[in-house]
Chains A and B, each alone.
Chain A
């Protein structure tokens, strides 16, 4: 028991320094592999114009529903086959990574900044602002996230700005709650009292003293949220009310393949594998990050 406790303390003191965190993270083989997979997807999306063998919307009328290379009828011309319009699936999957990752990052950053900002203000000052916010948060928490996004997208139709707002509308609540709770605790901490005693301004205390201390759990949450957002975006796109149809997106591609599941299973299946791999990698990396940044949360 005491050995476990001292081990935990040791971990905490290691994790208290940035190099220590990095070392813990790098020592976690699963997290490292997951991080590499995420980077690979990122590179694939960024370099899609150079890597993809075809334009994502280029239709090959003579090559409709060609099977992937390992199947009878498949070949090296279209490695992962083609869809019902004769578009190259590999190219479309590569381009599809762009919108998934871009939306994931934009939405997560937006919700992180808004949520953590409001949460810090509410936690630090309390008062009427905190009271009003807690009512708003209660209402939003009562709302199932995907149905909420669906309602917004139903009203606006597929478009990227609305999609970001729909996905972000409730997402900031989690960051708000974490930030508010942590600031509430930090407000009375010695280092904050000391800064106040030295005459530091309130913005300085919030941004330079408190923020760095409450950041690790927020970063972990942001990573794990990214996985949720990617799935939510794909789900909305699958329903035809997410990413506009002219932009290649994984969810849309699965929907495109639905009509052909009986004759050409790969059209709907392969883009879904891309979603699964990316989300899995993001989740595993997030869990590794959590273990490294906050050893107390270790299972």
Chain B
């Protein structure tokens, strides 16, 4: 039953993805500025012939519509063309190299956000307007009102520079890089039994992870809180209490499970926004992932690379939302009918 629901949602994705690729491609190509000239900017004297040759090499001599068609066709097969910077390497291989770093950091931030947000939301909901609730509400408000790049810098100053507790740049201490298997340093370190590498990788993620997680934690906390307050007032919760079940069971089992259903959507949405924050935070902390790659590529006018990374972020964002819908359908049968 919900298999069909997911299939339908995936089919609905196709026009959305085409639209996304269309927007990405044409914003990059309809703007003034010739990438070839940019590329040759520092190269000194070049002949018109060499320019034309490069243009042919990168496929820039064909009509725009043809270029778009090729772009979509190739992208679907995972081929994003050649990077203008990175010594003309294939975009896909540059991206593959950086993807694990971003994946690891994003997962870390995701877990961190939920680890803070869910308990805080539950505790706040138990005594609305209580001391904890007020504190958490103010904290959440600060979390959504703070620019992520600024929070990153403040964390860096306080915990990295004034007290030398945590590293403020990079992914890992280069002396302890574990042998590559998955590309996720923490996992690779565990697989090779290298404790020092594990701690180093983990410590490098704490500050950027916190800065990335803050707005998501704030939004999820608010959602869990209000959802819990609603659920706790329901008859079946009152009934569970009246039956004499311990409060822990009532809150943890009867109430929380139901309260989390509406939270799934906001978690997915916020995870998508986590990806946007990722670009900025990686830049702040010089974290060698996709986000920093994209920002550097913008500086170098490396459009194929920018296109690829933006498309990857957009596709992940879309898939996250479909995933959330599917999960929502599993958790709440009423959704499937719609």
Q: Enumerate chain A interface residues (CB-CB to B < 8 A).
A: 135-136, 138-139, 142-148, 150-152, 154-157, 227, 231, 234-235, 238-241, 251, 254, 257-258, 261-262, 265, 268-269, 272, 275-276, 279-280, 283-284, 299
Q: Enumerate chain B interface residues (CB-CB to A < 8 A).
A: 12, 15-17, 19-20, 23-24, 27-28, 30-31, 33, 141-142, 144-150, 153-154, 156-157, 161, 226, 272-273, 275-277, 279-280, 283-284, 294-295, 298-299, 303, 306, 310, 313-314, 317-318, 321
Distance A145 CA – B317 CA, assembled complex (angstroms): 11
Closest CB of chain A to B272's CB: distance in Å?
5
Nearest residue (CB) in B for A230 is B147
A-B residue pairs in contact (CB < 8 Å), sample of 7: A142-B17, A144-B313, A145-B276, A151-B24, A151-B28, A234-B149, A283-B145
> Known contacts A142-B314, A268-B153: does B276 contact A147 (CB below 8 Å)?
yes
Distance A239 CA – B294 CA, assembled complex (angstroms): 11
> Which B residues are in CB contact (< 8 Å) with A145?
273, 276
Instruction: Name the prevailing secondary structure of the A interface residues.
Output: helix
> Which B residues are in CB contact (< 8 Å) with A227?
144-145
Partner of B149, one of A254, A261, A262, A279: A254
Nearest residue (CB) in A for B314 is A143
Q: Is the CB of B321 within 8 A of A142?
A: yes
Partner of B310, one of A150, A235, A269: A150
> Which A residues are in CB contact (< 8 Å) with B16?
138-139, 142
Q: Is the CB of B15 within 8 A of A139?
A: yes
> Which B residues are in CB contact (< 8 Å) with A268?
150, 153, 157
Q: Is the CB of B283 within 8 A of A272?
A: no
Q: Give the A-B contact count at a CB cut-off of 8 A.
A: 135
Nearest residue (CB) in B for A170 is B23
> Known contacts A147-B275, A272-B147: does B317 contact A142 (CB below 8 Å)?
yes
Nearest residue (CB) in A for B18 is A139
Q: Is the CB of A144 within 8 A of B298?
A: no
Distance A239 CA – B284 CA, assembled complex (angstroms): 9
Distance A227 CA – B143 CA, assembled complex (angstroms): 13
> Known contacts A142-B317, A261-B153, A276-B146: does B295 contact A152 (CB below 8 Å)?
no
> Which A residues are in CB contact (< 8 Å) with B141?
280, 283-284
> Which A residues are in CB contact (< 8 Å) with B154?
269, 272
Q: Is the CB of A258 within 8 A of B146?
A: no
> Known contacts A227-B145, A272-B154: does B276 contact A144 (CB below 8 Å)?
yes
Distance A279 CA – B280 CA, assembled complex (angstroms): 19
Q: Is the CB of A147 within 8 A of B280?
A: no
Q: Is the CB of B280 within 8 A of A235?
A: yes
Q: Is the CB of B314 within 8 A of A144?
A: yes
Q: Is the CB of A269 within 8 A of B157?
A: yes
> Which A residues are in CB contact (< 8 Å) with B318?
142
> Which B residues are in CB contact (< 8 Å) with A142?
16-17, 19-20, 314, 317-318, 321
